[in-house]
Amino acid sequence: MTWRATVLTLYPEMFPGVLGLSLAGKALGEGKWELEPIDIRSFATDRHRSVDDTPAGGGAGMVMRADMAAAAIDAGRAGAVHGTPTLYMSPRGERLTQERARQLAEGPGVLVLCGRFEGVDECALEARNVEEVSIGDYVLSGGELAAQVLIDAAVRLLPGVTGNEVSLDEESFASGLLEYPHYTRPREWESRSIPEVLLSGDHGKIAKWRREQAECLTKARRPDLWQKHGTPKS
């Protein structure tokens, strides 16, 4: 069974977008995952194909109608494998983490609703029991970029997608730490040089140095992470 992302959007032409290139794009081309954008507007019933309306209670902007959002969700669910989570990209949601990306990659895929304008009528979110997911504390103009972030984070963890060029278990967050710094040739550049230990060929020493660097960086830059993971297991 192939991992599948179904995306409910008013802008299906925004997909695959960045997901069509590099690691994710190559894997998509090889059939290692599937992407199905569904145009929410195709569920509109009136002549103007409208899917949104003015906010109840007044105020600026437009809100996606509950019936349109729900029709799109239902159609997406009908085509998705049982157990696929329904997510609504939203700044009010729980923040996306590496751990959540890993869980999503282990499941059958995702059904993602992308909002536009002011957002989506709350009735639809409640009635369809949608999980809200945020990619950070800032406001985007639509959920499509956020959906691409979430899908990219999950897809690169699928078996066979990320080759040797990236080592998944050493990178940032995998062990609760930020990653150590990387170096490559040239060995000297603008009077800076690669740390001696990395040229020593002593794998034990190198591993220890990387570990120390990762811990120092995490303590300095992300005291919250350091606090949470205490002294992480090696």
Q: Which stretch binds ligand SAH (CB under 6 A): 10-18, 25-33, 97-105, 112-120?
A: 112-120
Closer to ligand SAH by Cβ: residue 127 or 220: 127
Rule CB under 6 A: say whether 91 interacts with ligand SAH: yes
Report the residue from 17, 76, 109, 115 that binds ligand SAH according to the rule CB under 6 A.
Answer: 115
Closer to ligand SAH by Cβ: residue 84 or 134: 134
Closest CA to 128 of 69, 56, 211: 69
**Burial class of residue 6 (count of CB atoms within 10 Å of its CB; 0-12, 13-18, 19+):** buried
Rule CB under 6 A: say whether 136 interacts with ligand SAH: yes
Rule CB under 6 A: say whether 10 interacts with ligand SAH: no
Rule CB under 6 A: say whether 143 interacts with ligand SAH: yes
Distance CA 17, CA 165 (A): 22
Closest CA to 5 of 82, 84, 59, 58: 84
Closer to ligand SAH by Cβ: residue 6 or 90: 90
Shortest distance, position 62 Cβ to ligand SAH, whole Å: 10
Distance CA 151, CA 92 (A): 19
Exposed e or buried b per residue across 12-31, where buried means at least 16 C-beta atoms within 10 angstroms of its C-beta: bebbbbebeeebbeebbeee
Report the residue from 13, 31, 138, 188 that binds ligand SAH according to the rule CB under 6 A.
Answer: 138
Distance CA 135, CA 64 (A): 20
Distance CA 89, CA 141 (A): 11
Rule CB under 6 A: say whether 140 interacts with ligand SAH: yes
- The amino acid present at 100, given as its one-letter code, is R
Rule CB under 6 A: say whether 55 interacts with ligand SAH: no
Altogether, the residues listed in the chain come to a count of 234
Rule CB under 6 A: say whether 148 interacts with ligand SAH: no
Distance CA 111, CA 150 (A): 11
The residue to which tokens 């994710």 are assigned:
24
Rule CB under 6 A: say whether 90 interacts with ligand SAH: yes
Rule CB under 6 A: say whether 17 interacts with ligand SAH: no
Report the residue from 9, 134, 148, 218 that binds ligand SAH according to the rule CB under 6 A.
Answer: 134
Rule CB under 6 A: say whether 128 interacts with ligand SAH: no
Rule CB under 6 A: say whether 116 interacts with ligand SAH: yes
Distance CA 177, CA 217 (A): 8
Contacting positions for ligand SAH (CB under 6 A): 89-92, 114-116, 118-119, 134-136, 138-140, 142-143, 146
